[in-house]
């Protein structure tokens, strides 16, 4: 689905349509797009904290849409993102808890 959103955003960037919200975002520029990504991501968190499945689904759709617009605006392709994800697949995480500080 993200690929479809990306292709639609790319088409809108290349073929502007009057009254298009996507074109409004492109016209306003990267700062506006990033503001919307942040707002929508926060709304996903709130929806999850509220355990509201409908809200989570709606806000996740919004954040994915705005991420697709941001990717187009910054020139990062879906293939670029997929390459990173594929490179990470199957690798062991090096995330670990920090050792407790015992000496001061």
What is the number of structural domains in the chain? 1
Residue among 3, 24, 30, 29 at smallest CA distance from 12 = 24
Segments forming the whole domain that contains residue 24 = 2-78
In a domain, 83, yes or no: no
The three-state secondary structure class of 16 is coil
Q: What pTM value is reported for the model?
A: 0.84
Q: 25-79, pLDDT tens digit by residue?
A: 999 999 999 999 999 999 999 999 999 999 999 999 999 999 999 999 999 999 9
CATH code, domain carrying 44: 1.10.287.1080
Task: List Cβ neighbours of 17 (8 Å cut-off, separation of 6 or more).
Answer: 23
Which pLDDT score is estimated for 103? 80
Please give the average per-residue pLDDT across 4-22, as a whole number. 96
* pLDDT greater than 90 at residue 104: no
Q: Which stretch of DSSP H or E encloses residue 3?
A: helix 2-14
Which pLDDT score is estimated for 55? 95
């Amino acid at each position: 689905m993200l690929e479809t959103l990306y292709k639609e955003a790319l088409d809108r960037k290349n073929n502007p349509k009057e009254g298009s919200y996507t074109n409004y975002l492109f016209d306003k520029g990267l700062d506006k797009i990033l503001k919307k990504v942040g707002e929508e991501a926060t709304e996903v968190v709130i929806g999850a904290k509220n355990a509201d499945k409908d809200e989570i689904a709606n806000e996740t759709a919004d954040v994915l849409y705005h991420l697709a617009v941001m990717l187009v605006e910054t020139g990062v392709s879906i293939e670029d993102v997929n390459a990173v994800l594929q490179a990470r697949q199957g690798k062991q995480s090096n995330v670990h808890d920090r050792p407790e500080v015992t000496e001061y």
